[in-house]
Structure formats: structure tokens, C-alpha cells
């Protein structure tokens, strides 16, 4: 099939290139509603308690939600609004930005990696490099006209939030607060604005199939109106209900490696629905390419032998994009 954007195109049936084999469908009726995802109040004045809550969530779930996170509500709302406006542009306008080359620093694309995959996913996405802003913002879409200003302001706030979380995560491992950030080096920042149009046959396909994130930390802003994110816990898929004024935080593969496997980079997926389009904004903090990812010696002593070989982030990222999204955990390929 000629692959191009699906937002703004009307489909009465799901095209065959999106249909998963029977053994690999979302089985939506078996998914559990998850009401006990940790919701962590970052405004908590008791640092010890906050760090403990974050450590427990990282160990048991690999993801959590945060409230009182410091990102102004109006800014998060504007981010969602301008993202909707972008995906409401005409197909012709959007196609001007289309590329299926994952090395591009700004592109509108569809599915996941259309050059590699055999079955497509019911998603369009705008992928942006965001750090340093002065370098990348000038290449972002200029339509809608407010896009660059709103997204730039949002990126600055989200980066600061990510760093605060990384400090607490480092402390929760019994380390100095800057230890994790020091290993990750000058971090890159990417954004995926995901748009999942209403799907004529949502039982047969995914918005994004199960995957873990290759980066360090993901900060996800979800459309409040339409759920779709699911997380694997103890072998069961849990539906994460969007929570007002909250971000979902996912640990990525690099924090799993840094923590010597004590914390989990969680499998997650996005499912689609027949009635409404869904939008999410994922911000990824990524180690610098030359960062040497290895667990600190405090976490690899005694019985805790190093689980993974040392690798640079550039090596890891190349391996990740050379594969299909839903293969085995990429970190398995770096085990000792």
C-alpha cells in the first residue's frame, strides 16, 4: 500500500495493511481498568516521602502520574489545542512535512517505521527535536501560526520537570541527586505529537503496539476526553484513565539499565476507538549520544552483579530503530 497520513481521510473499513493476525490483536474486552496507578503529588513538602513514593512506583510499575508538577495548566491546555489544530489542517498542507526517514529532526509521519514494518499502526505523528530550542524550533511547522511559541514554552517547562524527576529517581536509588543526570550527559529532547483518528475496526489494530521507550524518561500529556494508553503489569494490560492536570511518567530503557534492572522500563501500547480521535503529546528526554550508560558501582556490588554491558546511547538508539517496535525488549540484546 502507498503509505501516507490517515488523519483527515475517511475510511469505512480498516485497510488490510493495518489488520493484525488473530494472535496479535488488542483483545479490548480483556483489558482491566486501572484505578490504582500511583498518582504522586510533586508539591509534597516531605522530600523523604516523595522520594520513597517515586522509588516504589519505579520498582513496581515503571510508570506513574504526577500532579502539582509545576507546568502551568494553561500551557498544557494550549499545547493540546495547538496540536489538535495542526492535525485539523488539510491533508495537502500536512503532507508538505511528510517523511518516513527516522533520522530527520522534524517530520510528519504515520504508523511507526513504515520502511521496516509489515503491518501498519493507526497513528499519524509529528516528530520534533526540541533541544537546543534555538537550533530546532525554526524548522517546526509555522502553521498554525502560534505553534512554535506554544510548543517552545511547553518544551522548556517539561524539560525542567523531567530534571526534577530524574533527581528524585536518583535519590530513590540511594544515590546523589545529580548522579543519574551526570551519566545521561547533556540530554536531548524529542517530542511525538500522536494523533489516532477514529478507527472503523479498533479490535483489529493498534495505534501503537506494545513497546518500551528507548530513551531515559517520557513525560506524556494525554487528551483528557479519550482514553487509549495501556500498560502491562504482571502480565495484564491495564487501561490508564486520563487524570485531570496530570502527566504520565514512563521510565525508559536507559533508566532500567542505569538502575541495574531494579527499575522497569514498562511495556505500553496505545489502542484506538471507533468514535473519537485521540491525541497525546509524548516528550522524551534522551541521553546525549556519547553517554556511556552503565549502572553505578553502588548498584552493582555483592549479589547485584551488573546485568547489562556498558553501551553508548548512540549504539542503543541505532539498534532500536533497526528493529520492529514490538520485538523483544531491546535491552535484552545488551545483557551480560
Ligand X SMILES: O=C(O)CCC(=O)C(=O)O
**Site residues for ligand X per CB under 6 A:** 192, 194, 208, 213, 220, 222, 228-229, 268, 270, 280, 282
Q: Closer CB to ligand X, residue 172 or residue 194?
A: 194
To ligand X, the closest distance from the beta carbon of 4 in angstroms equals 20
Residue 33: strand, helix, or coil: strand
Q: Peptide bond preceding 261: is omega within 30 degrees of 0, i.e. cis?
A: no
Helix, strand, coil share of the chain (percent; to 5)? 30, 20, 45
User: Helices (DSSP H) in the chain: which residue ranges?
Assistant: 47-60, 73-87, 91-95, 133-136, 147-172, 179-184, 253-258, 313-321
Q: Closer CB to ligand X, residue 168 or residue 221?
A: 221
Q: Closer CB to ligand X, residue 239 or residue 333?
A: 239
To ligand X, the closest distance from the beta carbon of 48 in angstroms equals 31
Q: Closer CB to ligand X, residue 220 or residue 331?
A: 220
Kindly tell me the burial class for residue 118, based on how many C-beta atoms sit within 10 Å of its own C-beta (0-12, 13-18, 19 or more): exposed
DSSP lists the bridge partners of residue 180 as: none
Q: Give Cα separations from 254 to 34, 179, 198, 222, 300 (angstroms).
A: 26, 14, 33, 23, 16
Instruction: Look at the block and give the residue holding cell 503491518.
Output: 119
To ligand X, the closest distance from the beta carbon of 224 in angstroms equals 12
Q: Closer CB to ligand X, residue 259 or residue 280?
A: 280
To ligand X, the closest distance from the beta carbon of 304 in angstroms equals 30
Q: Closer CB to ligand X, residue 58 or residue 220?
A: 220
Q: Closer CB to ligand X, residue 120 or residue 268?
A: 268
What does the alpha-carbon distance between residue 244 and residue 276 come to, in Å, rounded to a whole number? 19
To ligand X, the closest distance from the beta carbon of 211 in angstroms equals 7
Q: Tally the C-alpha atoms within 13 A of residue 88's C-alpha that lie toward its C-beta.
A: 7
How far is C-alpha 314 from the chain's CA centre?
Answer: 18
To ligand X, the closest distance from the beta carbon of 213 in angstroms equals 6
What does the alpha-carbon distance between residue 245 and residue 250 come to, in Å, rounded to a whole number? 17
Q: How many CB atoms lie within 10 A of CB 157?
A: 18
DSSP lists the bridge partners of residue 311 as: 293
To ligand X, the closest distance from the beta carbon of 233 in angstroms equals 15
Kindly tell me the burial class for residue 20, based on how many C-beta atoms sit within 10 Å of its own C-beta (0-12, 13-18, 19 or more): middle
Q: Peptide bond preceding 238: is omega within 30 degrees of 0, i.e. cis?
A: no
Q: Closer CB to ligand X, residue 37 or residue 229?
A: 229
Q: Closer CB to ligand X, residue 170 or residue 212?
A: 212
To ligand X, the closest distance from the beta carbon of 299 in angstroms equals 26
Burial 24-55 (b: 16+ CB within 10 A, else e): eebeeeeeeebeebbebebeeeeeeebbebbb
To ligand X, the closest distance from the beta carbon of 268 in angstroms equals 5
Amino acid at each position: 500500500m502507498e503509505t501516507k497520513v490517515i488523519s483527515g481521510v475517511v475510511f469505512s473499513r480498516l485497510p488490510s495493511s493495518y489488520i493484525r493476525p488473530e494472535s496479535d490483536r488488542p483483545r479490548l474486552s480483556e483489558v482491566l481498568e486501572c484505578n490504582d496507578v500511583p498518582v504522586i503529588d510533586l508539591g509534597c513538602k516531605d522530600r523523604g516521602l516523595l522520594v520513597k513514593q517515586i522509588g516504589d512506583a519505579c520498582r513496581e510499575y515503571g510508570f506513574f502520574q504526577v500532579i502539582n508538577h509545576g507546568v502551568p495548566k494553561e500551557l498544557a491546555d494550549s499545547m493540546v489545542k495547538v496540536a489538535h489544530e495542526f492535525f485539523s489542517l488539510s491533508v495537502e498542507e500536512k503532507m508538505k512535512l511528510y517523511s518516513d526517514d527516522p533520522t530527520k529532526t522534524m517530520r510528519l509521519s504515520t504508523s511507526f517505521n513504515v520502511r521496516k514494518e509489515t503491518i501498519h499502526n493507526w497513528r499519524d505523528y509529528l516528530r520534533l527535536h526540541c533541544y537546543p530550542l534555538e537550533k530546532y524550533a525554526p524548522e517546526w511547522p509555522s502553521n498554525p501560526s502560534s505553534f512554535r511559541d506554544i510548543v517552545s514554552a511547553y518544551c522548556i517547562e517539561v524539560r525542567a520537570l523531567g530534571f526534577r524527576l530524574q533527581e528524585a529517581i536518583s535519590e530513590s536509588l540511594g544515590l546523589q541527586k545529580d548522579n543519574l543526570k551526570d551519566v545521561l550527559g547533556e540530554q536531548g529532547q524529542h517530542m511525538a505529537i500522536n494523533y489516532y483518528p477514529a478507527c472503523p475496526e479498533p479490535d483489529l489494530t493498534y495505534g501503537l503496539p506494545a513497546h518500551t521507550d528507548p530513551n531515559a524518561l517520557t513525560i506524556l500529556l494525554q487528551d483528557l476526553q479519550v482514553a487509549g494508553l495501556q500498560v502491562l503489569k504482571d502480565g495484564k494490560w491495564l487501561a490508564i484513565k486520563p487524570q485531570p492536570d496530570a502527566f504520565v511518567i514512563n521510565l525508559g530503557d536507559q533508566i532500567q539499565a542505569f538502575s541495574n534492572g531494579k527499575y522497569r522500563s514498562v511495556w505500553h501500547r496505545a489502542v484506538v476507538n471507533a468514535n473519537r480521535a485521540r491525541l497525546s503529546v509524548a516528550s522524551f528526554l534522551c541521553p546525549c549520544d556519547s553517554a556511556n550508560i552503565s549502572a553505578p558501582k553502588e548498584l552493582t556490588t555483592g549479589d547485584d552483579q551488573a546485568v547489562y554491558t556498558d553501551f553508548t546511547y548512540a549504539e542503543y538508539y541505532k539498534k532500536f530503530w533497526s528493529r520492529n517496535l514490538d520485538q523483544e525488549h531491546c535491552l535484552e540484546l545488551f545483557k551480560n
